[in-house]
Amino acid sequence: MTAPTPAVPVSTILLVDDDAATLAVFQRALEHEPAMRVATALDGAEALAVARRIRPDVIVSDYNMPGMNGFELCRQVREDPELRDCIFVVLSGFTDTALKVEGLNLGVDEYLTKPIELPELLARVRASLRLKRLQDQLRHDRDAMAHLHQQLGRSFDQLLELLIHLVDLGLPGAAERGKRLASLARRIAERFEVPVELVHDLELAAQLHEIGKVVDAAHQHSGAPAYPDWHYAVVSTALLEAVERLKGAGEIIGGVYENWDGTGQPSHFVSGQIPLRSRILRVAIDFYRLLDGGTALRKKPAEVIEQLAGHAGTWYDPVALRHLESVVLDRPREEWHSTRAEIAVDRLAVGMVLARDLCTSSGVKLLASGATISESMLAVIQRRHLADPIVDGVWISLR
């Protein structure tokens, strides 16, 4: 039994010309094509009304028409959400490049020079229909990808909720702690002007940084002594880096217990080697740890900050502590904003502390925010500046 021949999709063509005789000739030529349905209009206003009714795939319009020329018709078609995706072809006798560019800017897809032979008209219309089908397919694929992306986003959100719930089951109160910690870390990040797209991973890290403790719960119940906090951070990092969209959060947690002076764990990073978001999360974690320490006489936020300040430059990034203080004590924006200044490269000096990552014009990162300028660093910066200029200046801390 012979398989049925697939139906050929019918496309709609709208011909627009104030010359009725020309219009009739074009219409008869195109109607010989079984897959084309042809409509006509004698002027721009009629063409708009017909187009809104039939929604053509291709509009072929004369340029010179009374009342509304081909360009004005094209402009109105492109402004109509229901029509803007059709292919618009202009028939014209002009050769003025500036005029053609004007039409292209309005949305004209193709020009046909009059007088035009019928075989060429037919070939151009066929080509326009192929382009329209390709555009429709791309649009369909784009919409399908957007839908899939939404589904993946919902799936990720559900996974995240599940992880937070599991952590909260193993460590009651962890979900609320993580939510509160994420809020504080985000506000400190604003002081550092961390790009918005990088703050999301910081918030995830705040919400999931205790997951390593849940995994090692069996060890805790066995009566063995507790592991140090940095050990749990390493476990958390290993877990989260197994999930592509949680890798960034895992990397942040992995650097939380590195100390500013290099005495931390697990890698003994020093100052600017420690990721900025890890430094931010560290001061936020320890702030709440001391604030909620369970002592009979609860400490006030200012007292906790004073206690943390005793480890500025050893455990903690001094700038991160200052921004923590400005957030917790609700200092005015102007006050913390004035703790930084932008200077030229030739004004850099030994002992200055960077208030923002130092990058060259080509995007090479030389030093991270919080790094203290040493003699060797200064020499490297000056040499690199000659070959790859640092054109935007250098932000330094004023305190």
7 pLDDT band, cuts 50/70/90, is: low
∠322-326-328 over CA atoms, to 5°?
A: 110
Rounded to the nearest integer, the mean pLDDT of the chain is 85
4 pLDDT band, cuts 50/70/90, is: low
Give the lowest-confidence range in 219-228, 249-258, 315-324.
219-228
Please give the full DSSP string across 24-84, using - where no structure is assigned.
HHHHHHHHTSTTEEEEEESSHHHHHHHHHHH--SEEEEES--SSS-HHHHHHHHHHSTTTT
The strand pair at 110-113 and 87-92 is best described as: parallel
How much is the pLDDT for 336? 43
193-208 average pLDDT score: 91
What residues does each domain of the chain span? 11-141, 171-338, 339-399
* 368 has pLDDT over 80: yes
Q: What is the pLDDT of residues 47-93, one digit of tens each?
A: 999 999 999 999 999 998 988 999 999 999 999 999 999 999 999 88
The CATH number of 11-141 is which of 3.40.50.2300, 3.40.50.300, 1.10.3680.10, 3.40.50.720? 3.40.50.2300
Which residue, among 260, 271, 275, 276, has the nearest Cα to 193 in the 3D structure?
276
Give the lowest-confidence range in 41-50, 283-292, 356-365.
356-365
* 34 has pLDDT over 90: no
248-273 average pLDDT score: 92
Query: Which range, 2-6, 103-107, 134-138, has the best average confidence (pLDDT)?
Result: 103-107
Where is pLDDT greater, at 145 or 380?
A: 380
Residues of the chain with pLDDT > 70, as a percent, come to 88
The class of domain 171-338 in CATH terms is: mainly alpha
146-173 average pLDDT score: 79
Where is pLDDT greater, at 268 or 150?
A: 268
Q: How far is Cα 205 from Cα 236, in angstroms, rounded to an integer?
A: 9
172 pLDDT band, cuts 50/70/90, is: confident
198-211 average pLDDT score: 93
How much is the pLDDT for 285? 95
CB atoms within 10 A of CB 49: 11
Q: How far is Cα 348 from Cα 395, in angstroms, rounded to an integer?
A: 10
335 pLDDT band, cuts 50/70/90, is: very low
CA 183 to chain centroid, in Å, comes to 21
* 220 has pLDDT over 60: no
Q: What is the pLDDT of residues 17-29, one digit of tens each?
A: 999 999 999 999 8
The class of domain 339-399 in CATH terms is: alpha beta
Which residue, among 67, 33, 61, 35, has the nearest Cα to 47 in the 3D structure?
61
Please give the full DSSP string across 55-72, using - where no structure is assigned.
--SEEEEES--SSS-HHH
344 pLDDT band, cuts 50/70/90, is: confident
220-237 average pLDDT score: 76
How much is the pLDDT for 114? 84
258 pLDDT band, cuts 50/70/90, is: very high
* 121 has pLDDT over 50: yes
Q: What is the pLDDT of residues 272-300, one digit of tens each?
A: 889 999 999 999 999 999 988 755 456 78
How much is the pLDDT for 94? 77
Q: What is the pLDDT of residues 229-250, one digit of tens each?
A: 888 899 899 888 888 889 999 9
Q: How far is Cα 52 from Cα 83, in angstroms, rounded to an integer?
A: 7
153 pLDDT band, cuts 50/70/90, is: low
Q: How far is Cα 328 from Cα 1, in angstroms, rounded to an integer?
A: 80
How much is the pLDDT for 140? 79
111-128 average pLDDT score: 89
Where is pLDDT greater, at 237 or 7?
A: 237
How much is the pLDDT for 337? 45
